[in-house]
Amino acid sequence: MRQIIIIIITVIFSIGEETLLAQQNDFIKEYLERFENSRKYLLEVANAMPEEKFNFRPTKESLSFAENLMHIGYAMDWHAQSLLGERESRDWNTDTRYKVANKTKKEIIEVVNETYLETIIFIEQFDIAQFEQELEYFGLSRTKRQIFLLLADHITHHRGQILVHLRLNGLVPPRYVLYQ
């Protein structure tokens, strides 16, 4: 009798675990769809700004259009590769990949696109069993699943800023499409 109860409990827990893993796999699939749409839209927005306006900043305290793009790339790299992937973080003071200096519009867009593609590969290979692991995030405790959401929010935040840069230059941003 005791063996039957143990078998029943084991089956119940394994069904629950399979359901949870399926939901987490669905999260990754849905996240990747959204992330790819975000990549395409950000590239459209970046291409909409003329190169001579890439250094435009609405106020002296603001990031320029180009700096916002490179900040998106740097933060994407840091969230995925360093925070979630545990690779040593790039040193902002010495690493030149995400520095605007002497980069053309084309080069900046290439860096951001490459970072998106690297991040997509990272996400595709991410071990969903790590979702519940907690990390320190600017003084707060956050799960790795929450870091995925924070990354998407951060991109949206800065993309919103550069949409304003376009408007302030008399340009109409590319049409927003749902699920970005």
- Residue 129's nearest CA partner among 12, 9, 25 is 25
Q: Does the annotation list 165 as a binding residue?
A: no
Q: How far apart, in whole angstroms, are the C-alpha atoms of residue 148 and residue 73?
A: 15
- Taking alpha carbons only, the member of 144, 140, 128, 161 closest to residue 21 is 128
Q: Token pair of 112, please?
A: 């951001």
Rounded alpha-carbon distances, angstroms, from residue 168 to 48, 49, 65, 171: 13, 11, 11, 7
Cα–Cα dist 102/82, whole Å:
26
Between CA 19 and CA 166 the distance in angstroms is 45
157 labeled binding residue: no
Binding residues for a divalent metal cation: 71, 154, 158
Binding residues: 71, 154, 158
